[in-house]
Amino acid sequence: MNSDSLMRKAAVLISALMLIAGVWLLLWLLENRPNRSAGALSATVDGAVSDGEPLVEALPTPVVTDPLILQLADGLPAELRQAISRTMALQPGLQIAPNTAATVTVQLDWNPHGGAPFYEQTFAAAARFNTIFPSTTLTSVQVAWQGEGDEFSAIAVLTETLPALEQILGPRGEGVAGYATVDEVASAAYAREPVLALLPFELLVPKLVVFAVDGQNPVENANRFDAQAYPLVATVYLHRAAATLPSAESIEAALLAAIPPGNRDPNRLTVLAMTGVTALVRLTAQQMDKLGAEWPAEVVGPELAAADITHISNEVPFVEGCKTNTDPDNFNFCTKPEYMATLVASGVDIIGLTGNHQNDYGRDNALKSLAIYAEAGLPVYGGGRNEAEAHAPFFLEHNGNRLAFLGANSYGPALAWATEDKPGSARFDLARMSETIRAIRADNRADVVLAELQYQEIYDVSPLIEQRMDFNALVKAGADIVTGVQSHVPQALEFTDGKLILYGLGNLYFDQMWTMPTREGIFVKHTIYKGRHISTQIFTTLIYDYGQPQWTTDDQRAALLRRVFSASYWEN
């Protein structure tokens, strides 16, 4: 018998054996199948069963032989407790021990002895917003915590954070008052005498100004904040009270992976700088021609550029062949394209085009100016190639924070406004702008909405009645921050429903050396954290040499801010 014949016979034999085995298995399954009614085999598409039992029987809850038993100290941060709860939902072996439990695997507390750092809780020192100099030292905070000193009359905290703060500052004195909610702490900070609020970073609210402590301010980004040098940080420690059994090691690993390192994540923080009037014309242009195209930004530009996003309201179009005209009565403005260097030196990222000079040199040159912005990679809003573009909001995401910017010009003149097919600024219509804001909210397209208005120009710190009504209406529509960019002097501010309104920021880069108020300016840095506006810083400037803002002295800052704050409207 040859080899081919043997192989054929072997194949036949294997096939026969497989057939016999298959028939035997089928008979066994039929004899041992579950006793179900015919209707029990009917199931809907989504797995729900009709007229009978489910197709898959419920599995019993697994028995955890070696659970990981956690014991939690009082006052642990809410974010930490929430992360533990989420992990427990996914890990049946993770359990919380009652305070009287004898068997504990892991303990989380504020005691550093024998423990490993597990979680950092960053606190912010804050006070009422109309604080002129928001800066202090750790020593001053410690003295106030002990009920001594005269810088602060008291300290307001959340009662649940006392264990963490005592880890940082030691035993508290009589001047420390605990409250149940952030609103209560913020209200306490608005007492007549200066009260210091100490709040977890992520719970800050805009109506409180945050202090730099020993030169470090936690609402700043990495360009301006050294986390290692900041003193108001409490640490939760992990203590292994018993050896972790092998079966619990994976549970502990899952817990460690689910816990954030702390309550201040720099990768979820955005600092946005907003500025007032920029018009690189007349005597400012003459100075730039002599001293260089970056000259206006030499002093304050680096601070603006340090923000994650820097806004400039540039009122004037870039025009090829623009001639410097120093006549003080000249109000037909153009800017040389090479002056873009000042914006670049300021770290500009977005341009507001609500200014009333956008079409001074004709609509064709306005289109060419828009092309210059596009070539430089600078997005614009509040103005555009036509009415639709001018009114369209601009959306920007940074570190997970979704921002929406929109702007409009109520002042005119009519030549400055965009038409259906011609460029210019968006003509302000309260109903239209409010509807746009409501639509952004309804569609959940942004976390923070910023509205910008070029309103009627007045040279007074107090806003017009109509101005205040319109700005407040935009907040009621859903804006988080409303900014006036028309004013050539700093104007009042207001908190409405916890949202910030800045009626006018004054001049940034312009030649108005006429009076002290026109030389004064403010720009602000807004801090957005995890999709929420939590803080705003005010920077004060004074124009020198017809176009270069420099930092105010302490006396100048105090005089400026007292005037602004005295005209402002406060929630008490």
The answer to the question of residue 46 being in a domain is: no
Domain co-membership, 413 together with 321: yes
Q: By the 8 A CB rule, do 77 and 200 touch?
A: yes
The answer, yes or no, to whether residue 216 has pLDDT greater than 80, is yes
pLDDT class for 192, splitting at 50, 70, 90?
confident
Domain co-membership, 517 together with 546: yes
The answer to the question of residue 330 being in a domain is: yes
Domain co-membership, 85 together with 229: no
Domain co-membership, 186 together with 208: yes
Looking at this protein, which amino acid is placed at residue 383?
G
Can you tell me the distance from the alpha carbon of 146 to that of 138, in angstroms, rounded to the nearest whole number? 12
Q: State the pLDDT at residue 23.
A: 38
Give backbone dihedrals phi and psi of 24, rounded to 5 degrees, phi first.
Answer: -65, -40
Taking only the tens place, the pLDDT of each residue in 538-559 is 999 999 999 999 999 999 999 9
The average pLDDT across 102-119 equals 91
Domain co-membership, 397 together with 460: yes
pLDDT class for 155, splitting at 50, 70, 90?
very high
Which residue, chain included where needed, has tokens 């639509």?
A: 439
Q: State the pLDDT at residue 428.
A: 98
The answer, yes or no, to whether residue 357 has pLDDT greater than 80, is yes
Q: By the 8 A CB rule, do 259 and 83 touch?
A: yes
The answer, yes or no, to whether residue 21 has pLDDT greater than 80, is no
CATH of the domain at 175: 3.40.190.10
The answer, yes or no, to whether residue 242 has pLDDT greater than 80, is no
The answer to the question of residue 318 being in a domain is: yes
CA distances from 160 to 44, 153, 168, 222, 339 (A): 50, 21, 15, 29, 54
Domain total for the chain? 3
Question: In terms of C-beta distances under 8 Å and separation of at least 24 residues, what long-range contacts does 63-67 make, across chains too?
Answer: 64/92, 64/93, 65/247, 66/93, 66/245, 66/246, 66/247, 66/248, 67/92, 67/93, 67/94, 67/95, 67/105, 67/248, 67/251
Q: Tell me which residue range forms the domain holding 242.
A: 68-115+236-263
Q: State the pLDDT at residue 66.
A: 76
Can you tell me the distance from the alpha carbon of 216 to that of 222, in angstroms, rounded to the nearest whole number? 11
Q: By the 8 A CB rule, do 481 and 512 touch?
A: no
Domain co-membership, 146 together with 208: yes
Task: Lowest mean pLDDT of 83-97, 155-169, 180-194, 228-242, name the range.
Answer: 83-97
Q: State the pLDDT at residue 102.
A: 62
Domain co-membership, 257 together with 187: no
The answer to the question of residue 556 being in a domain is: yes
Domain co-membership, 323 together with 383: yes
Can you tell me the distance from the alpha carbon of 53 to that of 37, in angstroms, rounded to the nearest whole number? 9
Three-class secondary structure of residue 1 per DSSP: coil
Which residue, chain included where needed, has tokens 């260089």?
A: 292
Can you tell me the distance from the alpha carbon of 30 to that of 122, in angstroms, rounded to the nearest whole number? 66
CATH of the domain at 373: 3.60.21.10
Taking only the tens place, the pLDDT of each residue in 437-487 is 999 999 999 999 999 999 998 999 999 999 999 999 999 999 999 999 999
Q: By the 8 A CB rule, do 259 and 85 touch?
A: no
Using CB atoms within 10 Å of the CB of residue 366, give its burial: 0 to 12 exposed, 13 to 18 middle, 19+ buried. buried
| 10 CB-near residues (< 8 Å, 6+ apart) | none
Can you tell me the distance from the alpha carbon of 269 to that of 262, in angstroms, rounded to the nearest whole number? 13
Domain co-membership, 342 together with 195: no
Length of the chain: 572
Q: What one-character DSSP code corresponds to residue 233?
A: E
CA distances from 561 to 133, 505, 522, 556 (A): 10, 12, 9, 9
Task: Lowest mean pLDDT of 104-113, 202-211, 423-432, 504-513, name the range.
Answer: 104-113
| Cis amide bond preceding 413, omega within 30 | yes
The average pLDDT across 490-500 equals 97
Neighbouring C-beta atoms of residue 383, cutoff 10 Å: 32
Domain co-membership, 257 together with 176: no
Examine the fold and report which residue of 215, 233, 251 is the final residue of a domain before the chain moves on: 233
The answer to the question of residue 49 being in a domain is: no
Write out the two tokens for 467.
Answer: 């101005």
Taking only the tens place, the pLDDT of each residue in 27-69 is 343 344 333 333 322 222 233 333 333 333 433 444 556 788 9
Can you tell me the distance from the alpha carbon of 14 to that of 4, in angstroms, rounded to the nearest whole number? 16
Q: State the pLDDT at residue 504.
A: 98
Domain co-membership, 93 together with 132: no
Looking at this protein, which amino acid is placed at residue 161?
T
Which helix (H) or strand (E) segment is 257 a member of? helix 246-258
**In the predicted model, what is the mean pLDDT of the chain?**
89
Domain co-membership, 185 together with 321: no
Q: State the pLDDT at residue 25.
A: 38
The answer to the question of residue 291 being in a domain is: yes
The answer to the question of residue 553 being in a domain is: yes
CA distances from 306 to 229, 309, 310, 311, 450 (A): 19, 8, 8, 12, 20
The answer, yes or no, to whether residue 4 has pLDDT greater than 80, is no
Examine the fold and report which residue of 233, 250, 279 is the final residue of a domain before the chain moves on: 233
Q: Supply the DSSP string of 295-353, one letter for each residue.
A: GGGTTTHHHHHTSSEEEEEE-S-B-TT------TT-----B-GGGHHHHHHTT--EEE-
Higher pLDDT, 111 or 14: 111
The answer to the question of residue 525 being in a domain is: yes
Angle made by CA atoms 569, 210, 404, in degrees to the nearest 5: 70
